[in-house]
């Protein structure tokens, strides 16, 4: 078993780490406070090839593997978790389904702009009454001549307020239930009947917009159906498997930021005449963080490697996302504790990491759902 990285993977990791340290970390607090979309940072990531890492260069991507994706995304999220999730959604939730299920014409028109970093993409799945149970969605798409007519609202859509394109799930055959769901590519900039609804005020990841997508008799070309009619649920589940590797990587990056800052603080903060790093209580907290985060990284790299091998990785992605997000949240809680009163103030970034970490246990499948996915895979073999 070889744990070493290729030269290309090392370069990706080093490039992302340098970008995180030099560009993202210095401005992360500003973007968190102002809720401003970090447009310049996202454009720079596109120029580095990080908005379509695993997309072939034929369609504007970097043509790298998913292991490189984990390495890059965790470093970017270490610098700014908001930028990390913007990058994750473009790669996992938009580029992946278009690349996997789209026609050559669709890829040229709708994949290339996002994979190359010129535009942003998003994924319209969740609704007010359809979160963990996507089969409860109410958005519909009715074929009218050469156009599909979309009606409905999608909620909690990351990048929804800034994206140019979206993959949207809708019911095309109500009587078939979950087997009547189809996916569509929507050009949000040029679709009459589409509007951005409420932009949420959130606990964390504040520089990442979370918005409603509203479709009122929105007409899109018949050719924008993604894959086959009625294949939406299967596409959705495959897409979310890939997306969970992205969110796990975001969580890992947050956890790494927590650990770095906790170690640095413990070395300079003195109590009872010596640095608090010399107290066993602090050492144990740091050790637990480090072990959990290393374990999370190994789970993520395994899931990414399996995706690269085109193996079935649903269980591994769920394990990695669940474990990494729990590890990040646990690290953030202890990080605040190590900093004491300072950890609870905006003077230090630790409280932001705690706010940012929480969502990784919720979106792209709550950790309760992750446990059901893992159990389903285990019991399927009996």
- Answer yes or no: pTM beyond 0.75: yes
What pLDDT is recorded for position 171? 94
pLDDT value for 381: 67
pLDDT score at 382:
62
CA 181 vs. chain centroid, Å, equals 23
Six token digits for residue 75: 């470093």
Residue 39, class by beta-carbon neighbours within 10 Å (0-12 exposed, 13-18 middle, 19+ buried)?
exposed
**Cα distances (angstroms) measured from residue 90 to each of 56, 97, 166, 224:** 15, 10, 10, 18
Q: Are 157 and 124 in contact (CB under 8 A)?
A: yes
Q: Which secondary-structure segment (H or E) carries 272?
A: none
Q: Which helix (H) or strand (E) holds 144?
A: strand 140-144
Respond yes or no: is residue 364 known to be catalytic: yes
Token digits of residue 335: 């990080």
- What is the pLDDT, as a whole number, of residue 107? 97
- The CA distance from 240 to 192, in Å, is 28
In the chain the domains, ranked by start, together with CATH numbers, are 7-120 (1.10.540.10), 122-232 (2.40.110.10), 234-380 (1.20.140.10)
Where the chain has pLDDT below 70, the residues are 381-382
In the set 47, 297, 364, 368, the catalytic residue is 364
């Amino acid at each position: 078993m070889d744990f070493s990285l290729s030269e290309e993977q090392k370069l990706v990791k080093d490039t992302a780490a340098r970008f995180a340290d030099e560009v993202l970390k210095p401005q992360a607090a500003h973007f968190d406070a102002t809720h401003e979309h970090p447009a310049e940072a996202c454009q720079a990531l596109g120029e580095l090839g990080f908005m379509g890492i695993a997309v072939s260069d034929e369609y504007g991507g970097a043509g790298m593997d998913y292991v490189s994706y984990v390495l890059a995304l965790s470093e970017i999220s270490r610098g700014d978790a908001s930028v990390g999730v913007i990058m994750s959604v473009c790669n996992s939730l938009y580029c992946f389904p278009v690349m996997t299920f789209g026609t050559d014409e669709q890829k040229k028109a709708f994949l290339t702009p996002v994979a190359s970093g010129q535009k942003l993409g998003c994924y319209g799945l969740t609704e007010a009454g359809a979160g963990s149970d996507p089969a409860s969605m109410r958005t519909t798409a009715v074929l009218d001549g050469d156009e599909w007519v979309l009606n409905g609202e999608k909620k909690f859509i990351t990048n929804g307020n800034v994206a140019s394109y979206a993959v949207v799930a809708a019911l095309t055959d109500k009587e078939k239930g979950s087997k009547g769901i189809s996916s569509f590519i929507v050009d949000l900039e040029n679709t009459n009947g589409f509007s951005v609804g409420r932009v949420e005020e959130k606990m964390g990841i504040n520089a990442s917009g979370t918005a409603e997508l509203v479709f009122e008799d929105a007409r899109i070309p018949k050719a924008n159906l993604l894959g086959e009619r009625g294949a939406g649920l299967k596409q959705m589940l495959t897409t979310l498997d890939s997306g969970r590797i992205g969110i796990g990587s975001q969580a890992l990056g947050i956890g790494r930021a927590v650990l770095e800052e906790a170690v640095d603080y413990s070395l300079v903060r003195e109590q009872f005449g010596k640095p608090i790093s010399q107290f066993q209580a602090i050492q144990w907290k740091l050790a637990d963080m480090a072990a959990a985060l290393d374990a999370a990284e190994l789970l993520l790299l395994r899931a990414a490697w399996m995706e690269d091998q085109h193996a079935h990785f649903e269980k591994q992605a769920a394990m990695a996302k669940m474990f990494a997000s729990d590890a990040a949240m646990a690290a953030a809680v202890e990080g605040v504790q190590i900093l004491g009163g300072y950890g609870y103030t905006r003077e230090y970034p630790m409280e932001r990491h705690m706010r940012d970490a929480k969502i990784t246990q919720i979106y792209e499948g709550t950790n309760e759902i992750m446990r059901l996915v893992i159990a389903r895979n285990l019991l399927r073999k009996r």
